[in-house]
Amino acid sequence: MSDRLDHVFAALADPTRRDLVARLARADATVGELAEPYDMSVQAVSKHVSVLERAGLVTKSKDAQRRTVRLEAEVFDLMTKWIERYRREAEARYQRLDAVLAELDEDGTPKSPTTPTTHSSEESAAKERAS
Amino acid sequence: MSDRLDHVFAALADPTRRDLVARLARADATVGELAEPYDMSVQAVSKHVSVLERAGLVTKSKDAQRRTVRLEAEVFDLMTKWIERYRREAEARYQRLDAVLAELDEDGTPKSPTTPTTHSSEESAAKERAS
DNA sequence: CATTTATTCAACCAAATGGTTGACAACCTA
DNA sequence: TAGGTTGTCAACCATTTGGTTGAATAAATG
């Protein structure tokens, strides 16, 4: 399903590549221009750009000998969606748990079972979270 | 600055670890429980959990021999902020460029210079984008 | 045509990664 | 105390990664 996300996250795990993305967000640039600031060979930067390209974060367009690199913003949505989905799920679960704990605090009897607990270790989770 | 992001992105680059996060978003679980579905040793999963822990995505709490693993949602904000920042920058730049192109389309003379073009390859970028 | 410029390809290397198996530690339970 | 669970540590292995240098390609320019 998400072979794409493998490459995207892996691409952004490297600080040099994140810096490239940061700079490309401001302006397109050629490989040579991108390489200048770093204390490493042009070939190394070319490789980094290729990694970003394979991840779909960037596209290259040829202009004579130069390759102009442009940031592609769409892929960011893929990441954001993945992240936000699970962040929301986790937060929603915490709120459910807090609600349950609040009820237990009142009279000790759980009333309306909000969403049925699917996982076996949920109770111990609640116990942990109460501390 | 962002040594943390290195670990977070690297952690999520692995499909098994993303699946762990997905499952932990629904419910806390012990290492053993987490290991069950996969065709790999418990030790391997333990390592994966350690990677998630080092990235700050997850915390372990000891409960007898068991380690209950919980997802920590705060780190997600760090990622979202980073991503959204550059996505917005890129999109804003595209809109500026589209505006400039629209003006050029009318009379061929750029009027109010929106934001000054900082990078040398901006014009060629505009040319490329026009095609 | 010869040269310079911009980039990539190829081979190589050290270090990190993702997995394995075996031993060990810690804890419950009979 | 002995034995079963649960998880980690250690050593090992194959592959990937991030860098290097040297050569090759492609296009502008003298």
Report if CB B67 to strand D is under 7 Å: yes
Our measurement of CA B104 to C1' D28, in angstroms, reads 29
Which pLDDT does position B52 carry in this prediction? 98
State the 10-residue block means of pLDDT for chain B, 131 residues long: 89 98 96 98 98 97 94 92 91 76 60 40 34 28
For A13-68, write each residue's pLDDT tens digit.
999 999 999 999 999 999 999 999 999 999 999 999 999 999 999 999 999 999 99
Which pLDDT does position A101 carry in this prediction? 67
Please give the mean pLDDT across all residues of chain A.
81
Place of tokens 């949505």: A77
Which pLDDT does position B104 carry in this prediction? 62
Is the per-residue pLDDT at A124 higher than 80? no
Long-range Cβ contact pairs of A58-64 (< 8 A, separation 24 or more): A58/A21, A58/A24, A61/B128, A63/A30, A63/B124, A63/B128
Our measurement of CA A47 to C1' D28, in angstroms, reads 25
| Higher per-residue confidence, A120 vs B95 | B95
Report if CB A40 to strand D is under 7 Å: yes
Q: Hey, what's the torsion of the CAs at B66, B70, B75, B80, to 10 degrees?
A: 140
DSSP letter at A119 equals S
Our measurement of CA B54 to C1' C20, in angstroms, reads 22
One-letter identity of residue B33: E
Within B 44-63, residues with CB less than 7 Å from strand D:
46, 49-50, 60
Report if CB A41 to strand D is under 7 Å: yes
Q: Where are the domains of chain B?
A: 3-72, 76-130
Is the per-residue pLDDT at A96 higher than 80? no
Report which of A91, A93, A104, A92 is spatially closest to residue A130, judged by C-alpha positions.
A104
**B48: which nucleotide lies closest, measuring CA to C1'?**
C18
Q: Compare CB distances from A86 to B21, B70, B77 and report the shortest one's residue.
A: B21
- Which residues in chain B are contacts of A30 at CB distance < 8 A? 121
Nearest CA in chain B to A87: B73
The CATH number of the domain covering residues in A3-72 = 1.10.10.10
Our measurement of CA A68 to C1' C12, in angstroms, reads 29
Is the per-residue pLDDT at A115 higher than 50? no
Which pLDDT does position A105 carry in this prediction? 62
User: What's the pLDDT band for A94 if we cut at 50, 70, 90?
Assistant: confident
Q: Compare CB distances from A89 to B26, B30, B90 and report the shortest one's residue.
A: B26
For B36-64, write each residue's pLDDT tens digit.
999 999 999 999 999 999 999 999 999 99
